[in-house]
Structure 1
């Protein structure tokens, strides 16, 4: 990057540069146009933009980095592994993680950088710790700053998360203003944003500790893929993504969870169907489509066999509660 408004590349003790923002809370966007990327940063009541090449050099961040894909798709190289993130997905990296993202044409991605100083100020205000807050609390402590881990989050339901988008829009508006009290609003919105990310009705959160054994790592990846596809993924597809034999992956998952890939996927698919029936007014046909069923009839028989109730019976029994 060639604009000091955004970041400053610092010398690193390792082989990769470290990117340091100059403020406790930084919000910026990247949008891939064609050959160029539009960079937009929102800070201190101002919005700065410029076009440049897509910065794809492996690097580390001085702060915790929250990445969220607003539209399109990108590939993130995280510690030598390639991961694809699509609309509504993202990750939270601690400063020890080496990474670089490459945006596909039309992709728009948002980054929020949270400094340790900001977290030290915000964490005492948190009364309930879920996976996001536990991750930040643990990794912001200096005695743990050697650990390499990150979180991935994917939508738990197959429809746009309007409430989460409202929080993002409000945070951008507050960071673009110099009005009195803006900092307090920003801090409150950051807490709401993090709380929304760890709400299981909106997101699935997967923790990846890079110092885990290979078996633990692969089990985490299998679970993440199944959750990310709402249970609609086959053993063959998982094998193609992870480049490991499906039967080997199946044994690893059963060893740790007691369930085969097929059984775990069926459980997840049923849970998503139950959530959609109880928490939305979507028609049965639309629920079947969003969960990848070939027809409403097939969904009906699948659901009744698993839940011992038809979709309409299940909705009538549990929706009022």
Structure 2
């Protein structure tokens, strides 16, 4: 499920947008610009056989329709947080393309020209946050984490030109129930007309932002489309490692990014001090620790989820990296150290 747009006419492609007449679109100097004219709204988009099912949840309303997938580079007047519920999609950001899978997310500032291409059976949810809503939400918030800092910096007038976004890569090969519950709760509060809904909506948005900032659930990477080529490539290498939970080789990354593996290895080591192999080991170890502490999964299941060929290999790897067996690590770690 993904976001709904107001569909103006582009060339010969005219779409019926009667249910969404509260959305506005006009052309900026370079791209059509889309606005909800609402402080807060949710959009869902689900790929069907030949068309896409669009659903919009706004103040006391829920509307939906089927149409072709909207694949025109555009800008939103709002900040946009998208979360992939199932399947995969390609996020086209300017002249670059990025693959997102279920459990991944992305936060775009209003300067980002973009559109999405959904694979079959893909569902995405979009949360649109107006500048006014965010300014009011964050004015008395003292959170200094990277996500909150990104939003506060992006809201400053001197940064309005920057083409920046944050990519969230899920750390664990398990379902993130907390994020889904928060989106469901926010949808219910948007569709209701009960007293106090505005306060509940703000609280749910804050909790959702905090959930995405949870480093045990997500790895956050901030991208600037105007950054140097080297910085951009290093971010893409890190994404590939995180996306595969550390179970990735230099050759895999070379094939994905179409750059020489040795060149990418040098760039990563220059910026992080770690080779691709070292960085992958670090991520694999971190994810194993998180699963051992935060779940009751059998050790053989954890080994399987992280791509180890068997439990014995996982045991040897973990003991070498951490200094004790997976069972001992789980038994001696505080069970209260949960990730939700």
Which runs of 5 or more residues in structure 2 are unaligned?
Answer: 1-6, 8-15
CA distance in 2, matches of 1:194, 1:307: 31
How far is 1:5 from its partner? 3.6
1:26 alignment partner, SS class: strand
CA distance in 2, matches of 1:201, 1:6: 39
CA distance in 2, matches of 1:292, 1:5: 48
Q: How does 1:1-321 map to 2 (within 5 A)?
A: 1=7, 2-3=16-17, 4-5=20-21, 7-14=23-30, 16-320=31-335
CA distance in 1, matches of 2:333, 2:280: 23
How far is 1:310 from its partner? 1.0
Q: How many residues align?
A: 320
Q: Deviations over 1:150-199 (max 9, x none)?
A: 00002121110111111111000000111111111111111111111001
CA distance in 2, matches of 1:23, 1:296: 52
TM-score in terms of structure 2 length: 0.91
TM-score in terms of structure 1 length: 0.97
Contact 1:6 1:41 (C-alpha < 8 Å) held by counterparts: no
CA distance in 1, matches of 2:335, 2:204: 31
Contact 1:277 1:319 (C-alpha < 8 Å) held by counterparts: no
2:230 alignment partner, SS class: helix
Contact 2:294 2:335 (C-alpha < 8 Å) held by counterparts: no
CA distance in 1, matches of 2:69, 2:251: 34
How far is 1:104 from its partner? 1.2
How far is 1:250 from its partner? 0.3
How far is 1:270 from its partner? 0.9
1:83 alignment partner, SS class: strand
CA distance in 2, matches of 1:21, 1:140: 18
Contact 2:41 2:59 (C-alpha < 8 Å) held by counterparts: no
1:125 alignment partner, SS class: coil
**Runs of 4+ displaced beyond 3 Å:** none
How far is 1:6 from its partner? 5.9
How far is 1:141 from its partner? 1.5
